[in-house]
Structure 1
C-alpha cells in the first residue's frame, strides 16, 4: 500500500510539474501596471503582427486569430500594415489540388483571411519553415496563387518566392525590410531553382551585403525587419523548456524520465534541428543579423516561429516575437527578456510621427483582445541644439590629419612598420573652409555614408546631385567591425587598443592627399574620373544631428556618380544613366543591347596599376550608360574612391609578411615596379575575369602604350601641383620619381598581369536563349563564340574570342538562364580544358569534340543531350557548381597559427601550423587545402612533423584527405604498465623513467564530409610504422616484461576507422551552451604478424549549460570511454587515462588498460570583457572535478581515480585563446598552460 501511495504521489508531482503556467512573465519593473502608452501623440503607421497562424481547428478559428480579428475590426485606418510572420499553413504548407490534404490546408489559410475580412489596410505575407515543407518553391507558389485569388492589390507576398530579401518603402519615415529566413536555412543543393528569379542576390553573402546597403540607405527611418525566425528568443527554439519535456520528450506523451532528460539536453545544447537557434546555420544567420543591426538605433526585428509572445532587448537587437497566432509553447525571460507569454495572441507596433515607437502584446480573453504588455521600443529623437555653432567662418584654416605627436615614431618603429607617409599625416596644411550653406550653391545633408573604413556624409546640391563628404582620417574601429569581426559588435571593446592604433598607423601607407592628383592624371590618360576637393569642415548648423560625429576636421568632397550627374563631362557625358556594377551586370545578362566598352575598362585598370590603387573591388566603380543611334547601350567605367592611391607598405613587418603569405603581397611598396602583380590586383581579379569577354593581350599592351605616351612628365607635375604646398619635399619628390619609373615599366607590368589573368577565362551568356559555340582549332587554341538565339537562328554576337593555349589553361563557360544550345566542334588538339555550366532551363548539348571538356548541369531539371562524344558529363544539383557567381574566389590564401604550452611531461612545447587553401572551380568549401604542422618539446627534444592535404568532392559530397607524419625517436609518451593501480616512482626515479620514445612515421587516406549544420563524417585508412626506443634506465626496459621478443623492433600497422562528430556552440571560444558528440569505430592489424589485430570503440559526449540568466556561470560536463576489442594491441594502442584524456591532475597516459571510462564537470565563470591597451580580452575562471579508471583482464580493481582543481582562461579578438590550470590527484599537483591562435 505504501508503494502504491508513493507511486501516486510521484505521479501527482510529475503531473503538477508538467503543467506549464500560461501566465505572462515580466522583467522586474515592467509589470502590466507600469504601462505608460502615450495617448497625445499621432501614430504614423501601425503594424499588426501575427505569426504561426496556420493551425486553426477544423470548423473554427484559433484563439489568437479570434482576438486578432476582433482587434482589426476596431481599426479604422486604411494605410496600416498587417504582417503574417510565416508558418501560414500547418503542418506542411500548401499541397497540390489533387492532394487529400488540400482542403484542410485551404481552411487553415482561410481562417487567417477571415480574421482580416473587414480590414482595409495592406497585408504582407511572409513564408515560414512549414510553408516550405510542401515541395519547397512549388508549395510557396501554390500558397501565393491561392492568396492572390482572394486579394488583389492589397496583398504583398514578400520576398519574391525563392529570393532572400525585399525592401518596401512604407513612408518617408518608415521602411519595411522582409527576409525569408527559411531561404537562408534551406539546403540549396535540394532547390535547383532557388534564386532563379533573383536578379542580383545569388548567394547568402550577397543577401547580407544588400541588407547592409538597405539599412544604411534608410538609416534616418524607423526600420522594421520582419522575418520568420527570431534573431533572439527565449522560447523552445532557443533551448528553453518546461520540466515536463524531461518526462515526455515526444508529442505522444509517453513518460520516459531518463531518456527524456537526455533528449531535452541534446536539443537544448546541440542545435541538432536546423529550426533551433543553437544550430550552426541558424546561428550564423542570427549572429550576422545582430552584427549588422549594431549601430542601427532605429531598427526593430519582428518574427514568429516561437509559439509565444516575447519582447527582448540584447545589445543592439530589439526583438518582437509574435508567433502564437494558433499554437502556444513555453517561453521565459532569461537575461534579456522584458516580457514573455506562453499563450496565443498577437503584437502591434505603433510608429509615431515624432519618431518614437511602441509595441503592444495582446492575448485572447472571451475572444476579445486583452492587453498584456506595452513598451517603448524607440524613444523620441532629441532635437539637436544648434546654439553653440557660429553663423560665419574664416576663409581658411590650418589643420593636420593626425596630431603631430602621433606621427613621431622612433627608429625601431620606422624600421619595423616603415616610414610610409606618416610625416604628411602630421603636417599642418592651409585649407579652404567649407560652409555647407554656400558651398557649391548650398549643400543639404541627406544621410550618413556607409563605408567600411570611412566616416562620411552624403549631401546634395540645389539640382539634386549628390556628393560624398568624407573625412580624410579613416576610422580604424569601423574597419575592424565591418571587415575583421563581421559577426559580433567589437567597436567599443577595441577602442584605444593596440589593434586600433596599428590600424590607424596602417592607413598612413596611403598618401593622404594623393587623390588630389588623380583628376589631372586621369584626364591625361583618358580615364573618366571624379573631382575631389579638400576642405576644413567646421561643426555648423547645416550638419544638424551629424555634428556629434562630424566636423572640425579635414574632409574631402567629391561627386557621387549616379543618375543626377548625367551629361557631366568628367563622367563621359552619359545621356542615359549612371549605374552600379551589380546593375550593369544584371543588364548585360538581361539583353544583348547592353554592351560593355572593354577597351575603356582595360585602360582604367592599367591606370589603377600605375597609381598603385590596389583596392579596386566592384563597389569602387560606376558605369556611364551611353545610348547610340542604333539603340545600343554602352557602359564605360567611372572609377571612384581613390583613397588608396600610391600606397606604400614599407618596413620589415610587411616585408616579412609578404615573404610568408601571398595575401600580404597586395600591400606593396610603391616604387617603379609591382613585384607581385597577381596579388596586387586580387581585389579586382574576379571583376576583370567576369567583364572581359573579348579582350586579348594586344588590347592590354595597346592601352598600356597609350597611358605611357600620355602620362607625360609635364602632366605629372601639373597633377601634383594640386596637392597642398606644405606637402612638397622629399617624400613627394620620391613619389613623383617612382610614378615616372612605373610609367616607364607599365607595359612589362601589364604583360605579367595579363598572363596571370588569361590563365583562367570565364565566359558568360545571357538570361535569354543563346548559342554557345566552342571550336577546337588546329593550332591547339580554342574559340568561344556566344550569340543570341532568335527563332533558332544565330543573331547578335555577344562575345567572340580565340583563347591561346600558351596563355590559357582553363575556360569556364556559363550558359546562365533560359534554353541554350551548346555546340562543341573542331578537329584540333584540345590543349585548353573547358568546363561548360548549362545553368537553368532545358539546355541542348551537341558535342562532337569532347576531349578535355566537362559539362555540368542540373540532375533534377530537364536537359537534352544530343551528343556527348568524349566529354565528361556531371549532372548534379550542387548549387555552387551550377550557379554563376561573379564574386567566386579563384585564388589561394594562407594562414600561420603559432602555439606555446607547458606541462611537466613535455616541458615547454612550441607548435606552428601553416594552412594554405586553394580555390578553383570545384570546392567544398575549398578546392584543396594543405596543412603543414610541427611541434617540439623541450623536456625530451622530441619533435613531430605532419602534412595533410584535402581535395574537394572526390566522391559525392566527400572530400579526399591524405596525410603523412613523422616523429623522431625522442618524441615520447608515458607508460606505467597495464592496470588501474600501477605505481608511479616519479619522486625516486624522475619524470623520464616512465617516458617511452616512439619513433613513428605514417600515412593515411580518408573520405571526409563536414556539413554546414555541425556534423562531420570520416572514413580513414592508415598505415604506420612505430618503433619503441630501447633506452636504459627506463620503466620500459627495467620493469616491464613483454612476451614479445620483437618488442623493440619497428612494427607496421594498417587500420580502418569510421568517425562521426557533431558539435555546436553558441560561442566556440567561450561556450555558454553547446554540445560535442563523437564516436570512433575501427580496428588495426599488425602487418608483420597478421594474427595480431584488434578493434576499438571510442564514444565521447560533452555539454555546456548556462546556470544563470546572465549566462556567466556555466556547467561543462563530459563522459568518454575507450574499449578495445581483442587482446592483440600494443601498449601505445591501449585505452589510456591521464592529463589529456580525462584525469587532469595526473601525468600524461598515467593509466593504461584494455578499456577506460572518464567523466567530469567544470563550473566556469566568465567575467566581463576587459579593455586593455593591447587588445580587449575576456577572462574566466573554472573549478573542475574528474573521475575515471581503466580495466584490464588480469586485474581485479574497484578503484576510481579522481582529480580536482581549477584554472584561468582568456580569450581575445575571436582568435587568441589561453588556459592556465592546476589540478591535484593522488600523486600531487600538476600545473600546465597553453596559449595560441584558434580560428
Structure 2
C-alpha cells in the first residue's frame, strides 16, 4: 500500500477511530499468542495433529456494533476451531525439509525450505502483520490497529480451494497444505523465526509446477527479469493466451492483488529460431474471496480511498478496481488479443468449471470453515462463472480503450495500416522478417493507440488503404532512443510522431513502483 493511499485512508479511519479502536495508539498485544487456545497444556512431541486450532481468534473479539460499523468480514472463520496436522520438518512428509532464508512480503512471514532431493518449498504464516507496509509516521497510531484488523476481510483458508479451480482451466498453481507449527519446535527457536511459533502456516512449492503438457522451462524468473527479457529484444515474448486465462481466473475468484510481484515466469527453452516464451506462474492467493464492504467503514474505504480492495460477491463489483493491480502487466502482456479471443477464453472456462468441480474445490476448506462459508461461496462462484463472458468483455473494453504497443532495445519496424473501418499495427525486425505482432483496432473500441519504439533505430511506416482511410483511433508514436525514421504521407491524419521517449516513470519499459 502506498503512502499516498494511506494519507487518503487516514482521515476516513480517523472519523470512527476512537469509537472502533478504543485507543489512540497501536495495540501492543494484538495477535493471538498461539493457535491452540489450550496452549498451556503441553503438546506431545510425537503428536501428528492438533484439534481446536484457530487462524486468528483475535479478529472475532468484537461486538455487534463494531461489526456493523467496520464489517463482519471473515471473522467467524478466523476464529473457527479446526483440526490441523503438525509440521515436522525432519520427517518424511515431503522427504524431509531443511530451513533456509527467512523472507516475506509486507504482510506475511515466510521461510524457504528445501527437501533432501533439492526441491524448493516455502512455509508462510496464515495470519499477517501489515505494520511493515505502513510508513514510520503511522506506526505508533491507531491506524495500525485498523490495518491489522482489516486482515479479517481475507478468508484464511481460501488459497486451499485454488488448485482444483486453476487446474481445471490450465493455469499453473501451487498446492498449499495447512500445518500447525509447534511453539517449542527446535527448528523455529531462532529470533528470526519467532513469528511462526504456535501459528498456522501454509506449506507450498516455491514455484508453481507447470501443467503436464508444458515443456520443461530453462529457468523460472521473477517479474523484473521477465520484463527485462521482453524489453531487451523480441526473441522473448509473453504467452498472451495463457496470461489471459490466468487473469480471468483472478477476476472470477475475486483475487484483486495481482501486481507484478505476485507472479513468477517460466522461461521456455529457445526454439530453433531462437524464440522463447514466458508462461505466467501466479502465486500468493491471499485475497481470494475477499470481503470488505459489509460495514460502514469498509464500504467507505472501498468506495472512496482504496477502490482496488474489491469485495467478492455473486456479482462482479467495480471491474476497474478489481483488475487494476495487474494493469501494468495487462497492458503489455495482453495487447495482441482481440475481443473474440477474450470471449472464446471465457466461454471455454465456463465449460471447464462445472458445479461439481466448484463444490469439490470449496470442500477443501476445513470443515468448520466450510460450514460457515461453503454454501454461499459455491453459489457466488457459480453465478460469477455464468457471467464470465461479461467479465471478459468488460475487461477487454477497459484495455482496448487506450492500448500501448512497445518495441525493444533493438531496431524494429512498426507498420500502421489505415483502412476505412480499422487500423492494423504490425511489428517486425525488418521489412521481410516474420511478423512479431499484429492486431486490428476498431474506432468503436479504441480512442488512442500509443506506440513506443524504445531503443534501436526504429522505422515507423504509415500505409493508407482505399479511397477514404480512417482517421481514428488517434495514434501517438514515441521514437525513444536511437535514430528513428517516420515514413508517412503529409496527408495522414490522426497520427503524431514524437522523437523523444515517453516521460520518465511512464514509459513502456518502466516497471511500476511496488
TM-score, with structure 1 as normaliser: 0.36
1:429 alignment partner in structure 2: 82
Aligned counterparts of 1:579 and 1:771: Cα–Cα separation in 2:
29
Contact kept, 8 Å, 1:613 with 1:646, in 2: the verdict is: yes
Question: SS at 2:312's partner residue?
Answer: coil
Which one of the candidate residues 506, 511, 518 is aligned to 2:155?
511
Corresponding residue of 2:459 = 821
Question: Could you say if the C-alpha distance between residues 607 and 878 of structure 1 is closer, same or farther in structure 2, counting changes exceeding 3 Å?
Answer: closer
SS at 2:50 equivalent: strand
Cα distance change, pair 888–514 in 1 and its aligned pair in 2 (3 A): closer
1:468 aligns to 2:111 (yes or no)? no
Tell whether 2:260 aligns with 1:642: no
Q: 1:680, CA displacement in angstroms?
A: 1.3
Q: Is contact 1:771-1:794 (8 Å) kept?
A: no
Tell me the CA shift for residue 463 of structure 1: 2.7
1:401 partnered with 2:26: no
Against the structure 1 CA distance between its residues 798 and 886, is the aligned structure 2 distance closer, same or farther, given a 3 Å change threshold? farther
SS in 1 for 2:497: strand
Q: CA deviation at 1:594?
A: 1.8
Mapped pair 1:561 → 2:204: no
> Structure 1 residue 749 and structure 2 residue 391: aligned?
yes
Match of 1:798 among 432, 436, 444: 436
Is contact 1:393–1:433 with CA below 8 Å preserved after alignment? no
Q: Tell me, yes or no, if structure 1 residue 830 matches structure 2 residue 455.
A: no
Report the Cα offset of residue 688 of structure 1. Answer: 0.2
* Unaligned residue ranges in structure 1 (runs of 5+): 1-204, 206-388, 859-875, 890-1239
For residues 183-222 of structure 1, the aligned pairs below 5 Å read: none
2:512 aligns to what? 887
Q: For the structure 1 residues 652 and 882, does the alpha-carbon distance in structure 2 shift closer, same or farther, using more than 3 Å as the test?
A: closer
RMSD of equivalent CA atoms: 2.5
2:414 is aligned with 1:784: no
How far apart, CA to CA, are the structure 2 residues paired with 1:881 and 1:657? 27
Match of 2:108 in 1: 454
Deviation at 1:549?
Answer: 3.2
Distance change >3 Å, CA 534–CA 685, structure 1 → 2: same
Residue 569 of structure 1 and its aligned partner are, at CA, apart by 4.4
Give how far 1:723 is off: 1.4
TM-score (norm: length of structure 2): 0.84
Decide which structure has greater strand share.
1
8 A contact 1:668–1:674 mirrored in 2: no
CA distance in 1, matches of 2:438, 2:371: 50
Tell me the CA shift for residue 426 of structure 1: 0.7
Does residue 673 (structure 1) correspond to residue 315 (structure 2)? The answer is yes
- Tell me the equivalent position of 1:1047: none
Q: 1-side partners of 2:510 and 2:485: how far apart? A: 22
Alpha carbons 2:406, 2:508 under 8 Å: kept? no
Deviation at 1:647, TM superposition (A): 0.7
Partners of 1:408 and 1:423 within 8 A in 2 = no
Counterpart position of 1:716 = 358
Aligned to 1:842: 483
Question: Measured at CA, do residues 880 and 420 of structure 1 come closer, stay the same or move farther in structure 2, by a change above 3 Å?
Answer: closer
Unpaired stretches in structure 2, ≥5 consecutive residues: 3-41
Relative to 1, partners in 2 of residues 1:490 and 1:855: Cα closer, same or farther, differing over 3 Å? same
User: Aligned equivalents of 1:412 and 1:571: distance in 2?
Assistant: 53
Judge conservation of contact 1:672–1:743 (CA < 8 Å) in 2. Answer: no
Output one character per residue of 1:296-341: Cα deviation in whole Å (capped at 9) or x when no partner.
xxxxxxxxxxxxxxxxxxxxxxxxxxxxxxxxxxxxxxxxxxxxxx
- How far apart, in 1, do the equivalents of 2:364 and 2:214 lie? 22
* Paired position in structure 1 for 2:371: 729
* Residue correspondences, number: 464
Does structure 2 conserve the Cα–Cα contact (< 8 Å) formed by 1:529 and 1:570? no
Bigger Rg, which one: 1
Name which structure has the greater RCO, CA cutoff 8 Å, separation 6+. 2
Matches of 1:530 and 1:723 in 2, distance apart? 16
**Secondary structure class of the residue paired with 2:207:** coil
Contact 2:170 2:211 in 1 (8 A): no
Q: 1:795 to 1:460 in 2, by over 3 A?
A: same
C-alpha spacing 1:881/1:637, structure 2 compared with 1 (3 Å):
closer
SS of corresponding position for 2:307:
helix
SS of corresponding position for 1:586? helix
Q: Deviations over 1:496-516 (max 9, x none)?
A: xx3232222211111110110
Measure, in 2, the Cα distance between the counterparts of 1:881 and 1:524. 37
Partner of 1:872: none
The CA distance in 2 between the partners of 1:719 and 1:468, in whole Å, is 22
Secondary structure of the structure 2 residue equivalent to 1:576? strand
CA distance in 2, matches of 1:611, 1:882: 31
**How far 1:558 moved relative to its partner?**
1.2
Partner of 2:29: none
What is the rounded CA distance, in whole Å, between the counterparts of 2:125 and 2:408 in structure 1?
41
Q: 1:534 maps to which residue?
A: 178
Tell me which residue corresponds to 1:853. Answer: 495
Of 803, 808, 811, the residue aligned with 2:449 is: 811
Shift of the 833–622 alpha-carbon distance from structure 1 to 2, 3 Å rule, reads same
Classify the secondary structure of the residue corresponding to 2:435: strand
User: Following superposition of structure 1 onto structure 2, how do residues 59-208 of structure 1 map, counting pairs within 5 Å?
Assistant: none
SS at 1:665's partner residue?
A: coil
Instruction: State how far apart, in whole Å, the 2-side matches of 1:558 and 1:573 are.
Output: 22
- Offset of 1:886 from its aligned partner? 4.3
C-alpha separation in 1, matches of 2:301 and 2:330: 26
Residues 879 and 504 of structure 1, relative CA distance in 2, 3 Å threshold? closer
* 1:667 positional shift: 2.2
> 1:402 Cα shift?
1.6
**Aligned equivalents of 1:572, 1:731: Cα separation in 2:** 35
Please say if 1:550 is aligned against 2:192.
no
DSSP 3-state at the match of 1:644: coil
Deviation at 1:467, TM superposition (A): 1.6
Spell out, residue by residue over 1:1101-1152, the C-alpha distance to the aligned partner (whole angstroms, 9 max, x if none): xxxxxxxxxxxxxxxxxxxxxxxxxxxxxxxxxxxxxxxxxxxxxxxxxxxx
**Does the 8 Å contact 1:671/1:741 carry over to 2?**
no
Deviation of 1:748 (Å): 1.0
Cα 1:570–1:722 shift into 2, 3 Å? farther
Structure 1 pair 764/412, CA: closer, same or farther in 2 (3 Å)?
Answer: same
Matches within 5 A, 1:6-25: none
Shift of 1:449: 1.2
Instruction: From the two aligned structures, give the one with the greater helix fraction.
Output: 2
Structure 2 CA distance for partners of 1:857 and 1:391, relative to 1, 3 Å = farther
1: distance between equivalents of 2:99 and 2:75?
A: 32
Take 1:799 and 1:629, find their aligned partners in 2: how far apart are those partners?
18
Which residue is 1:738 aligned to? 380
Structure 1 contact 444–542 (Cα < 8 Å) conserved: no
The answer (yes or no) to whether the contact 1:654–1:664 under 8 Å persists in 2 is no
Matching residue of 2:329: 687
CA distance in 1, matches of 2:383, 2:115: 41
